Amino acid sequence: MTNIINLTDYKKNKALKDWHDNAIKNVNVDIMTFRAILDKCPNMDSYYYHVILGMLVAKQTITLKEVAEWYSDINMDDISITSLRDSIEKDIKKSKVASTL
């Protein structure tokens, strides 16, 4: 597996460390702002990216559950953590491609 936690590389990679520190400091911002921070990760294959991605999925899941409590058309049984994560990653890849055009 390529996503091995390597603290030495983390300490050497200032861009990744700065991004991770910023993401952790801003964990309580709204979902769209947190998503924008996730989009700026310098290494989307890193363990740290996936940790922050997990935090975003958790924020979205909590919000979705709160909305589903009062909106009966949302069927929580049809929604999985994997589908939320895959949707986020797909959107991030699209936005990266669009920004290079």
**pLDDT digit string (tens) for 52-74?**
999 998 888 888 888 888 877 77
Does a structural domain hold residue 93? yes
This prediction's pTM? 0.66
Does a structural domain hold residue 5? no
**Which letter does DSSP use for residue 76 in this model?**
G
Q: In terms of C-beta distances under 8 Å and separation of at least 24 residues, what long-range contacts does 5-12 make, across chains too?
A: 5/47, 10/48
Does a structural domain hold residue 3? no
| Structural domain boundaries enclosing 54 | 12-100
Does a structural domain hold residue 78? yes
Residue 19 has pLDDT above 90, yes or no: yes
Alpha helices (runs of H) in the chain, residue ranges in sequence order: 7-12, 14-25, 31-39, 47-70, 81-100
Does a structural domain hold residue 4? no
Distance CA(61)–CA(76), nearest Å, equals 10
Does a structural domain hold residue 6? no
* Average pLDDT over every residue of 15-31: 92
Q: How many domains does the chain have?
A: 1
Does a structural domain hold residue 84? yes
Tokens 């460390």, residue located: 17
